[in-house]
Structure 1
Amino acid sequence: MPKIDHDTKERILAAAEKVFHANGFKGARTSLIAEEAGISRTMMHYYFNSKEELFQEVLKRSVGVVLAHAQGVLTQPRDLKEMVNGLIDLLCDVCALKPGLPTFVVNIFNESPEIAYFMAMGQSDELPKVLDRLLEEAKQQGTVQSDITGEHLMLHIYGLCSMAYLAHNYIKAKEKRSDEAMAAFLEERRVQIKSFVWHALGNQGI
């Protein structure tokens, strides 16, 4: 058996992430992953025994990116405005870093509800509670009039931030945008989402 090479393993994981993010678990073929990594399927199986094992590693790494970014948002003292802007920046940054991640998550929900269930069980409910507290504080200060809950606010933000990446190819093709124009549009959308959410909460600006 060949010696395990770290660079080769990372190349396989990068290729698997690209293929799984684009095609989901059921649509991804190990032959395509091997081709993307520039190795044979036989060599790939020296590093990962099965497609399932490789998928679990990609899932862990993908979720880990979000959690690593989220930790910084949750651990810093914030008012509602800072928290909302921080969450939007977090999700936009993660989507820019891993543009296939929103599609990957949707594919998991559609194809593998049992995996989605265990993902949900492993997530903390800290964020909705933090948002509930900040919303109540903002209401008492008179800066927010909305009766929205932290959970609904969190889901609104997730949806608004991920939609442009889920529909990326359509949005780009519809207006014949170049790569540079699409990148500029996504940055503009970040600003628009902040303004939209903040106005919806009852404030006059971001």
Structure 2
Amino acid sequence: MITIVDYGVGNIGSLVNMFRRIGQEAELSADPERIAVADRLLLPGVGAFDTATEKLGVGGFDEAIRNHARTGRPVLGICLGMQLLLDSSEEGVSQGLGLIPGRSVRFEDSRGRRVPHMGWNQLDVRTPAPLVHGLPADHRFYFVHSYRVVVADDRDELARSDYGGEFTSMVSRENVTGAQFHPEKSHAFGMQMLDQWSRS
């Protein structure tokens, strides 16, 4: 069973539909006790960093997610959900979940690139992992974000992408993984990735 954290921030409906299409059972949960003991946990997120951290804190979701991660069971953060896995963000003053050391910084409006980074992009996989195994050469994923991740330890960088320069587009530390893009909006490639995550 895949549990999607329902804390009021994120495209949860499209995620449920995507898992249904690949034949995986997924549930929405706003119950911190259920979240802490879930088999697999997915943290979505769209919007501002401080708004999301406030909602996580008020609902008791933050500690439930940390408790789940401590069990060694899989956690996947998507888009803002990936940035929430880190320590902090330039976008706000709140603390993140601290599951992967690092922070988010704003893209520069330079090199002829507009912010936010919006549209299709590819991955340059830096570390082999089941989640990114077997991606075809023509793969592409859908991104919408103004902030990019900077990890404290390069070994936590799973993949990079390029937008006026390379940036970290996936992170991974032990059982905790993050994807800056939206696999639920990335058609067959997103389906492949979520299916592999749900089985790994």
Same-fold call, TM cutoff 0.5 = no
Query: Greater share of strand residues, 1 or 2?
Result: 2
Question: Normalised by the size of structure 1, how large is the TM-score?
Answer: 0.28
